[in-house]
Structures are given as C-alpha cells and as structure tokens.
Amino acid sequence: MTTAPEKTAAPDTAMLAVEELSLTVRRGEIAKPILASVSLTCAKGEIVGLVGESGSGKSMTLRTAVGLTPAAADVSGRVRVSGRDMLGASPKELTEVRSRTASMIFQDPRAHINPFQRIGTFLAEGLRMHQGKSKQDAARAAIALLAEVGLPDPARHMRQYPHELSGGMLQRVMIAAALASEPELLLADEPTTALDVTTQAEIMSILLRLRRERGLSIVLVTHDLDLAVSICDRIHVMYAGSIVEVASAAELARRPQHPYTAALFAARPGPDRQELRSVSGRPLGLYEVEGGCAFAPRCPAADGLCHETPPVARLVDGHLVACHLAGEPGTDTGPAHAAGTPSAGGTEPEAGTGPAPAAGTDLPGPFTKGERP
Ligand SMILES: Nc1ncnc2c1ncn2[C@@H]1O[C@H](COP(=O)(O)OP(=O)(O)OP(=O)(O)O)[C@@H](O)[C@H]1O
C-alpha cells in the first residue's frame, strides 16, 4: 500500500486517468472557475483518496470525470475511464460507462433511493436493466449482492422499504446496487460521513474486501484524513480546485510536504491532543483566488513569490507537491504536522503531547517566514 507517485499507472493504462481537468461554470455573463488543471490517476485494484475541505472541488472532480457536469460548463483536459475518452463521449456513451464500468455511491443513500420502492425491486430493476436478467435471476442475484455486502438477512431485506433500514444498512444496499453492473471502478463520494464510526469501519472493510475479491479500483472522496490514510494506497490533497499534494498514504502521513496538508493533519482531533487546531482563515473557492498560490492567504510562511506566482507541482521526496517552499533547504514539515491554529477554548499542549507551533507562526518551524534562502 505504498505506491509512490512515480510508480502510478500511466494514464493510458489507468482505470481512471484525469489529466489537467479544468471546469468553469457559467451563469449568464458570470464565469465561475471550479477546477484548475486537476490530474488524478487510479490504477486497477488501487484505492485512491481525494481529500480536502468543503468546497475544494472533490465532488466536482468525480462528477465531471464521469460526465455529470453542470449544465452550462466549459470543460477542458482529458479524462479516460478504463481507456475510454469521457470528455469527447456522447451522452449515450457516458450513460453506458456509468452503468457498466464506473459506479458511484454517495454520502446520503436516502437521497438516492426511491422511498416507496422495496429494496428488492430497486436492486432487481438495476440487474434486469444492466444485465438483462429475468425477474427470477435478478432476484437471486440481488440476494447474493446483499449477502456480499454483509447484510444479515438478505431475503428479508429484499421485502423491506428504505425507511426500515439504518443508514449503514442502506449504504450497504447502495454498494450492492453499485456492484450490480459489475463495475471496474467505484467512485465513493463521502460514503461514510453520515455514519457512526463503527458502521464506517464496516463499510470500509467491505470496500477493502471488494478491492481484494473483485479487483475493484476505488476513488474515495472524504474530509477524513485518518480514514483516507487507513484505507487508501495513495492520497490526492485538493485545495481551491487544484491538487496540491499527491503521495502514498503512508508517506503523506509520515511527512506531509505541503503546508495545507500539514495543517489538515494538525486539525485532526485525537486522544492525545490537548487542543483542537483549525486551519486558520477560510477555504477559498478557485473563483476567489487572485493570483499566486491559492493557499498563500492562509499560510503564515508565504512570501512575495507565493502571493504572486502560482506554484507548479514538482516531485519532492516522492511527493508531488505544488508549493514554492516544499523541499527547500531548511524547509521540512517534519512528522509533527503542526500547522493550524488552536480553536477557541483550546489549551496549550503539554510537552511531548503534540506539536508546538514555531514561534511567531501557526505553521511548523520549517515553514517559518524568512527561512527561505
Ligand atoms: N452545480 C454547480 N454549479 C455551480 N457551482 C457549483 C455547482 N456544484 C458545486 N459548485 C461549486 O463548486 C465548488 C466545489 O464544490 P464541490 O461540491 O466539488 O466541493 P467538495 O470539495 O466536494 O465539497 P464538499 O466536501 O462540501 O462536498 C464549490 O464552490 C461549489 O459551490
């Protein structure tokens, strides 16, 4: 589970290859840029994470990749799903890819299921449509799918309505529905955000098993860095419509190279934390970025170059990172992940219990202003 960026699948062999994807939504005369040159790959059998704060463009990336673009939008770049060009595809071809190759699951299963339809009818309909099964075969296959996602009494659940199932059970139903078309790629958009931690762990273990048993490739969108680190092979960190860092999960957790990634790690609550840190400032949408690095207004280490010139992604210690400061002599986020500011009401950390911010800055020492050569 430690694929370094340089070892990722080449775009033409990847299950999902997003290259330099840009998206601008238009409303009348107003153009709102949402994504800027997003690149992301997911190889066969790989679990790739896409993490970032709310509004950073994670869902838009997934949706645009499978042709679910807002009505008035300019899209550029290249997207291939299992080798098929998505941006040049007809609506019919896009529907075919979404119903055969790339399935999606979402945060709120109740918003994506007909509350008046029994679970069995919902699943069997999909199986008949995607695989042309007879009514009886579809029912049998639906029961098998419900068993595969660990529901305890599949025959009974087939007769139930969505409101009779818990959120976790319903998310399993949605995973079963996503599997009905025997996809090669599963796009999971915050699939466990609405669930308790135990159920979240169960859903994640189902995804891991599906990868192992079916060779499924999975792109997991989540706010939860710990979750991403625990399940993903590689993680893409997104900020203001751009990917700011890509590394193997283990590497990212060990030594984040982008100050935004370090700040996200520092903002995690944990049993050994005496304070809660937030990432200072508010996240910007791409349409609010005025030039330079989008993170510069929140980055106390940012200098003139950061405010004036957008950083270009480059390899730093095996991480692909878009930061002028990363990897320079004397710059190193270290294992402490100390970026961020204590939340209101937070207390000072005890020695040895957490990272201490460098004097005069919210960021880890190595990202202190003035240390750049
Ligand atoms: N249909 C739309 N038309 C115009 N702008 C949109 C549309 N959907 C989303 N946006 C904007 O695109 C930006 C990215 O949204 P997106 O939902 O991709 O973020 P996200 O990272 O997935 O956030 P969250 O974690 O809250 O879902 C936001 O500024 C959002 O307001």
CA-CA distance, 21 to 151, in Å (whole number)? 38
Distance 35 CA to ligand 1 centre (A): 10
Distance 57 CA to ligand 1 centre (A): 6
Residue 356 is classified by DSSP as P
- Give 3-state DSSP helix, strand, coil % of the chain, rounded to 5: 35, 20, 45
CA-CA distance, 218 to 167, in Å (whole number)? 21
Closest to 22 measured CA to CA, from 87, 84, 100, 102: 87
Residue nearest to atom 7 of ligand 1 (CA): 70
Residue nearest to atom 8 of ligand 1 (CA): 60
Distance 264 CA to ligand 1 centre (A): 19
Residue 80 neighbours by CB under 8 Å, 6+ apart: 11, 12, 14, 16, 17, 86
Q: In this structure, which amino acid lies at residue 205?
A: S
Question: What atom of ligand 1 comes closest to residue 287's alpha carbon?
Answer: 29
Give the pLDDT means over successive 10-residue stretches in the chain (373 positions): 49 87 92 95 96 94 94 94 94 92 91 93 89 89 94 96 94 93 94 88 93 95 93 97 97 95 85 67 83 90 92 95 85 46 33 29 35 32
Residue 13 is classified by DSSP as T
CA-CA distance, 270 to 329, in Å (whole number)? 31
Distance 167 CA to ligand 1 centre (A): 24
Question: What atom of ligand 1 comes closest to residue 107's alpha carbon?
Answer: 27
Q: What is the pLDDT of residue 301?
A: 85
In sequence order, which ranges of the chain are alpha helices (DSSP H)?
A: 58-65, 91-100, 119-131, 135-148, 154-159, 167-179, 197-214, 225-231, 249-254, 259-266, 304-308
ipTM entry: 0.96
- Please report, for the chain, how many H helices and E strands are present, in that order: 11, 14
The angle that helices 91-100 and 119-131 make with each other, rounded to 10 degrees, is 120
Q: Specify the 3-state DSSP secondary structure of 285.
A: coil
Q: What is the pLDDT of residue 282?
A: 82
User: Which of 59, 221, 223, 289 gets mutated to test ligand 1 (max ligand atoms within 8 A of its CB)?
Assistant: 59
Alpha-carbon distance values, 110 to 6, 58, 105 (Å): 40, 21, 11
User: Which of 27, 34, 108 gets mutated to test ligand 1 (max ligand atoms within 8 A of its CB)?
Assistant: 34
> Ligand 1: residues within 6 Å at CB?
25, 32, 34, 52, 54-60, 70, 223, 285
Domain ranges in the chain?
Answer: 110-182, 255-367
Q: What is the pLDDT of residue 286?
A: 87
Burial class of residue 217 (count of CB atoms within 10 Å of its CB; 0-12, 13-18, 19+): buried
Question: What atom of ligand 1 comes closest to residue 61's alpha carbon?
Answer: 18
User: Which of 60, 69, 220, 237 gets mutated to test ligand 1 (max ligand atoms within 8 A of its CB)?
Assistant: 60
User: Which residue's entry shows tokens 């991403």?
Assistant: 228
Closest to 21 measured CA to CA, from 30, 34, 4, 31: 34
